[in-house]
Amino acid sequence: MAPLFACGLLLLSLLQKEVQSTKHNKTVTAHSTNGNGYFMYFAYASNLLKERLRLNSPSAVFNSTGKIKGYALKFGLWGELMENETAWQGGVATIKEQKDSEVWGVVWKISSEDRRNLDKQEGVDRGLYRPLEVNVNTTYGEILCHAYQMNNFTSKLASPQYKQVICMGAEQNGLPPDYIRELHALETNNNNSTSMLNTIFAAKHREKIPSHVGQP
């Protein structure tokens, strides 16, 4: 009887924790990675676009849109890295702590098997970005998500094609119109290389999604 009684106490404890975490109909994930083989990821830049994200994380499934408070969207490079040394030919996005600011994005549910691919895409192994966890405010409540922040940030303008992919992703997922207008208004470096765009448009064509979506 003792083992059965102990199991009953453990089950009661777990149920109490579940009730506390969903109090007031607010969804709270205790950790961005759980034991069910997936993690929650907050995308705020090129990975807003499903086809771009799935190039490296094919398991990604849309969960919700949301925003993080106390951060601002910035564009730059890692230290003294030159613009022509990046696939996007210009500055890329990061989030930086900034009072009274907010960044909108998409919460994706991704298989844990793709975690290493996503880290590699973000250059974690090279020290370019570092992972962090952010509280994302969504219509379902607050969700704790995996995200990335640039190391050794130096401000640089983004390229037109990088900006275009971000705007496409924002429109694809229905981010607020005012926020999308802010994205379209971003200044760029006028470097019109299309190498990454060609790869993404090929993926969009395979999924039969109109390539004109998101054009300024």
Q: Is 115 strand, coil or helix?
A: helix
* SS3 call for 167: helix
Q: Give backbone dihedrals phi and psi of 150, rounded to 5 degrees, phi first.
A: -70, 140
Question: 200: phi > 0 → left, psi -120 to 50 → alpha, else beta; which?
Answer: alpha
Separation of alpha carbons 117 and 113, rounded Å: 8
| Residues of the binding site | 41-46, 162
Assigned token pair, 140: 């379902």
Neighbours of 198 (CB within 10 A): 11
Find out whether 115 and 100 touch, Cβ atoms under 8 Å. Answer: no
Would residue 113 show up in a list of annotated catalytic residues for this protein? no
Binding site per annotation, positions for substrate: 41-46, 162
Region class of 161: left (phi > 0), else alpha (psi between -120 and 50), else beta:
alpha
Residue partners of 176: CB distance under 8 A and separation at least 6: 104
Active-site residue, selected from the candidate residues 102, 122, 182, 187? 122
The catalytic site residues sit at 122
